[in-house]
Amino acid sequence: MAVTQGHGNPHWTRDETLLALDLYFALKGQIPSPKASEILDLSTLLRSLPYHAEAAKQPTFRNPDGVGFKLMNLRQVATGKGLGNVSSMDRQIWAEFGQRPDEVHRIAAAIKSGITIVGSEKLPDVEQELPEGRLLTALHIRRERNPKVRKMLLDDRRLAGFRCEICNLTRPDLEEPLQEAMFEAHHLVPLAEAGERKTKLADLALLCACCHRLVHRAMVSKLRWVGLAEARAIIVPK
C-alpha cells in the first residue's frame, strides 16, 4: 500500500473514526486495496464533513491511502497484528465500541444522514463533544437552540408553570419573561436515533440551564447517552 502524504492534516475526529470502524466491521477485518469502492466511498464521505471544508481542499486529506491506513490501525488495536503506530483516538474508540458493532452502525448511519442534512450550513460550536462525535453533537445543539422548538415547549408548560424536570426548580415569583429565561429545551431522543424527524413535545424536557449543562456533562463523562431518570439520580441530592 502506498504511503500517504497526509502530514499536517487534522487529527481524525471521533465521528470520522466511528465511520472507519463501521467499515472495518462491515469488511470483517479484511482490508482491501485503496482502489476498492468501499475505501473510495469512505474517503469521499470524510472529505464532505462540514467542519473539514478547508482541509478537504488538499488532495492528501483523508485520501484512499489514508483511509486504508486508518483501517489497518483499527485492525492492529483489535487484533494486535499489523501497524503499530496507532493513535489514542483509535484505542479509545475501540475500547468504547469494539464490542458494539450494531451501535456503531446506527451511529455511522446517523452521521451520514447528518452530513446530508447539514450540507454547507455552518454548525454551532461544540464545547462538550458527546460520544457520537462532533457532527451529531452539533446537530443536537442546533435542535435544542431552535427558537420554534423552545417556544413550543414553553407554551405547553406555561399554564402549569415552568418547572425543571430534573431538580424541580421553579420561580413563579419572577415576571414571566425572567422565568422563561431560566429554562431550556432538552431533547430526550438519543443522537443516533434523532435523524431529521420533526421534533414533538414528547421528545422534549424542560430543564433549568444548570441541569441542562450537567446532563450534557454527564453524557460526556460516561461516554454514553444519559436519560432523564438517570440524570435525575445523578444530579438531585439523595
Q: What's 231's domain CATH number?
A: 1.10.30
Question: For residue 196, with 0-12 CB atoms within 10 Å meaning exposed, 13-18 middle and 19 or more buried, which class applies?
Answer: exposed
Name beta bridge partners: 206. Answer: 185
86, 68, 85: which is closest to 30 by C-alpha?
A: 68
- The mean pLDDT of 207-234, rounded to a whole number, is 93
Report CA Rg, the chain. 21
Q: Residue 4: is its pLDDT beyond 50?
A: no
Which amino acid belongs to residue 51?
Answer: Y
Determine the Cα–Cα distance for residues 111 and 97; give it in Å rounded to an integer.
16
Determine the Cα–Cα distance for residues 115 and 20; give it in Å rounded to an integer.
15
Q: Tell whether 111 and 26 lie within a shared domain.
A: yes
Determine the Cα–Cα distance for residues 76 and 79; give it in Å rounded to an integer.
5
Q: Tell whether 102 and 144 lie within a shared domain.
A: no
Per the domain annotation, does 53 fall within a domain?
Answer: yes
Determine the Cα–Cα distance for residues 21 and 29; give it in Å rounded to an integer.
10
Determine the Cα–Cα distance for residues 212 and 140; give it in Å rounded to an integer.
13
Q: How many CB atoms lie within 10 A of CB 193?
A: 11
Per the domain annotation, does 79 fall within a domain?
Answer: yes
Yes or no: say if 20 and 70 are a contact pair by the CB < 8 Å rule. Answer: yes
Per the domain annotation, does 5 fall within a domain?
Answer: no
Which letter does DSSP use for residue 61 in this model?
T
Q: Which three cell numbers stand for residue 208?
A: 433549568
Q: Residue 119: is its pLDDT beyond 90?
A: no
Q: What is the mean pLDDT of the chain?
A: 88
Q: Tell whether 70 and 161 lie within a shared domain.
A: no
HSE-up (13 A, CA, CB side) for residue 116: 7
Domain that holds residue 190: 134-235
Last residue of a domain, one of 69, 90, 118: 118
Helix (H) or strand (E) holding 88: helix 88-97
Q: Strand 183-187 vs strand 204-208: parallel, antiparallel, or unpaired?
A: antiparallel
Per the domain annotation, does 9 fall within a domain?
Answer: no
Q: Tell whether 163 and 95 lie within a shared domain.
A: no
Determine the Cα–Cα distance for residues 163 and 207; give it in Å rounded to an integer.
7
Per the domain annotation, does 68 fall within a domain?
Answer: yes
Let me know the angle formed at the C-alpha of 133 by 128 and 136, rounded to the nearest 5 degrees.
95
- The mean pLDDT of 1-17, rounded to a whole number, is 70
Last residue of a domain, one of 89, 118, 147: 118
Per the domain annotation, does 210 fall within a domain?
Answer: yes
- The mean pLDDT of 197-226, rounded to a whole number, is 90
Determine the Cα–Cα distance for residues 34 and 171; give it in Å rounded to an integer.
60
Q: Is 204 helix (H, G, I), strand (E, B) or coil?
A: strand
**Over the stretch 135-163, which tens digit does the pLDDT of each residue have?**
888 888 888 888 999 999 999 999 999 99
**Over the stretch 85-108, which tens digit does the pLDDT of each residue have?**
789 999 999 999 999 999 999 999
Per the domain annotation, does 180 fall within a domain?
Answer: yes
Cβ partners under 8 Å of residue 39, min gap 6: 32, 33, 64, 67, 68, 71
> What is the per-residue pLDDT for 196?
58
Yes or no: say if 38 and 27 are a contact pair by the CB < 8 Å rule. Answer: yes
Q: How many domains does the chain have?
A: 2
Q: How many CB atoms lie within 10 A of CB 190?
A: 19
